Amino acid sequence: MSRSTTRFDTKKVNSELVTLTYGALVAQMIKDLDNTDDVSKQIERLGYNMGIRLIEDFLAKTGSGRCLDLKETADKIQTAFKMYLGVQPNVTNWSSSGDEFSFMLDSNPLTELVELPDDLKGLKYCNIICGAIRGALEMVQLDVQSWIVQDQLKGDQSTEVRVKFIRRLEDAMPAGED
């Protein structure tokens, strides 16, 4: 009897489930911490934790190898957006030195059904994405910084996630072995 038969579109339900669960969690964080900056930080950390696990899932499912340059990395992250959030962002706004770029999201499933009240305008609701990117890339030895430039929740046209390459992480020597 355990065959899954349902009247619903499972994909859609799952997507709404994530949106609503995330919303409930953020609402709880806002209750727990009285400072919006702290909430934004917590959200980023939460995304980071998810990112370090997501990369494994991503590598297992796509079987992709190491990236040779940042352009390739950006393309891979674009694929990851498609896989995990079902949206295809554009990669744009490359800096002249080629170490910074942006993802432009026309629609963001995380912010569907969400509205920010006036007293929470400082909240970085989408910080979870930044955290996830940072966490995932750290697991493939890339140290990056990521932040939100534009946010649809704050009235912008689209959501822009900026990524800046900091450095390659070297394999650390085990402690006590010089």
Q: What does the binding site for other proteins look like in residue numbers (CB under 8 A)?
A: 1-8, 10-25, 27-29, 32, 42, 46, 49-50, 53-54, 57, 83-86, 109
The alpha carbons of the chain give a radius of gyration, in whole angstroms, of 18
CB of 120 to other proteins, least distance (A): 17
Dihedrals φ, ψ of 105, to 5°? -110, 120
Comparison of 11 and 66: residue with beta carbon closer to other proteins: 11
CB of 44 to other proteins, least distance (A): 12
Burial environment of residue 92 by CB neighbours within 10 A (0 to 12, 13 to 18, 19 or more): exposed
Q: CB of 87 within 8 A of CB of 159?
A: no
Comparison of 98 and 112: residue with beta carbon closer to other proteins: 112
CB of 33 to other proteins, least distance (A): 9
CB of 16 to other proteins, least distance (A): 6
Q: CB of 109 within 8 A of CB of 125?
A: no
CB of 95 to other proteins, least distance (A): 30
Comparison of 53 and 121: residue with beta carbon closer to other proteins: 53
Query: Six-digit token pair at 6?
Result: 């349902």
Comparison of 11 and 168: residue with beta carbon closer to other proteins: 11
Dihedrals φ, ψ of 110, to 5°? -70, -30
CB of 114 to other proteins, least distance (A): 11
Comparison of 16 and 100: residue with beta carbon closer to other proteins: 16
Comparison of 85 and 101: residue with beta carbon closer to other proteins: 85
DSSP 13-75: HHHHHHHHHHHHHHHHHHHH-S-HHHHHHHHHHHHHHHHHHHHHHHHHHH-----SSHHHHHH
In three-state secondary structure terms, 139 is coil
